[in-house]
Amino acid sequence: MQELKAFIKDDIARVASLMERSLRSDIGLLQDCNKHIMDNGGKMVRPILTVLMAKAVGECNDNTIRFAVTGELIHNATLLHDDVVDSSSSRRGAKTVSAMLGPRPSVLLGDYWLAKGLMEIAGGGKDAFRVLDCYCKTLCDLSRGEMLQLEMASSGATTREDYLNIIYSKTASLFQAAALAGAISAQASEEQEEAASAYAKYIGLAFQIKDDILDYEGDSALGKPTGQDIREKKITLPLLCAFEGDPEGEKAIREKLVAGGPSATEEIMDYVALRGGCAAAKQWVEQYIDKAREALDVFLESPAKRHLLYLADYVGARNY
């Protein structure tokens, strides 16, 4: 990841600079919140994806930077809203805006970042409409995914099909939009756009499954505490894999998950470990990473393509 970031260091610096300018406000509270989030930023995977895809097609230009900023602003807007829904007190090792100031400022700030993200697209000239369509589809997917997850959490009835639908909607869809935006900004061919979409979908699915594995095997010291999904009554792939071949155990665990409580969290964690749920889920990650790598066959060999391969490997190997 360090080598990858070094390859596009100047481009990502432009993304960060435009984000800061786009969000700037004369309202002190708003500016303080913006700074808090940017000072505790994430991995910037979505802007990295936009920039690398543009470079794999042609060159990173002003539109590429605009569209990369949109992806990161939308991503953070959804996290601000999620922190309210999930009553999260910390993210990336820092207090959430919701924990510091309450849910209302977090929702309003999320709305502000979302609006600013969409406004960035407007400067994209002839590419703006298509990119807007990509990101609007993603926003619909995000909402659908959240609602489906809430519905499933209340019943404990999540199936593998439900799970894949949820993680596509909540994670992979935004990866797709970010990659397509980069490809469109560089005037990609239809074949290249399809390849960009497939690559991003597969690494997005792998990214979320890896996150869900880390919820069982994570390291708190690295910012990945365990058991949160169970406490929120979410059935993810490690648990679904653990259910295979154990219908009686599955019935009992699903009931325990819905009932909740500290003992349920510990028991379900032990069940997944005993049944090898994480090991089975890791095979899914590897399969999606392989499919992502195959999707890049359409592109000519280049440093950008090589770094897209690195990005796929990183998604599979990361431990935080």
Query: Which residue ranges form the domains of the chain, and what is each CATH number?
Result: 2-317 (1.10.600.10)
Mean pLDDT of the chain: 94
pLDDT given at position 3 = 86
- 36 against 319, higher pLDDT: 36
The model's pLDDT over 266-311, given as tens digits with 9 standing for 90+, comes to 999 999 999 999 999 999 999 999 999 999 999 999 999 999 999 9
Percent of the chain with pLDDT over 90: 84
pLDDT given at position 220 = 58
Locus of tokens 């960060």: 16
Q: How many Cβ atoms are within 10 Å of 216's Cβ, its own excluded?
A: 21
pLDDT given at position 153 = 87
pLDDT given at position 271 = 97
pLDDT given at position 154 = 85
pLDDT given at position 312 = 96
Q: And the tokens for 13?
A: 């610096």
pLDDT given at position 225 = 75
Per residue, the 3-state secondary structure of the chain, as one string, reads CHHHHHHCHHHHHHHHHHHHHHHCCCCHHHHHHHHHHHHCCCCCHHHHHHHHHHHHHCCCCHHHHHHHHHHHHHHHHHHHHHHHHCCCCEECCEECHHHHHCHHHHHHHHHHHHHHHHHHHHHHHHHHHHHHHHHHHHHHHHHHHHHHHHHHHHHCCCCHHHHHHHHHHHHHHHHHHHHHHHHHHCCCCHHHHHHHHHHHHHHHHHHHHHHHHHHHHCCHHHCCCCCHHHHCCCCCHHHHHHHCCCHHHHHHHHHHHHHCCHHHHHHHHHHHHHHCHHHHHHHHHHHHHHHHHHHHHHCCCCHHHHHHHHHHHHHHHCCC
Least confident of 183-187, 198-202, 226-230: 226-230
Instruction: Characterize 243-269 residue by residue with b for buried, 16 or more Cβ atoms within 10 angstroms of its Cβ, and e for exposed.
Output: beeeeeebeebbebbeeeeeebbebbb
pLDDT given at position 222 = 55
Task: Tell me the average pLDDT across 80-103.
Answer: 86
Task: Tell me the average pLDDT across 72-96.
Answer: 88
Confidence grade of residue 42 (pLDDT, cut at 50, 70, 90): confident
pLDDT given at position 318 = 86
Q: And the tokens for 303?
A: 């440093």
The answer to whether the Cα torsion of 253, 255, 258, 262 is positive or negative is: negative
Task: Tell me the average pLDDT across 50-69.
Answer: 98
Residue type at position 266:
E
Tell me: pLDDT of 223 over 60. no
User: What is the value of pTM for the model shown?
Assistant: 0.94
Tell me: pLDDT of 238 over 90. yes
- Angle of helix 262-275 relative to helix 190-217, nearest 10 degrees? 110
Greatest Cα pair distance, the chain, in angstroms, is 60
Task: Tell me the average pLDDT across 57-62.
Answer: 97
pLDDT given at position 224 = 65
Confidence grade of residue 21 (pLDDT, cut at 50, 70, 90): very high
Task: Tell me the average pLDDT across 176-197.
Answer: 98
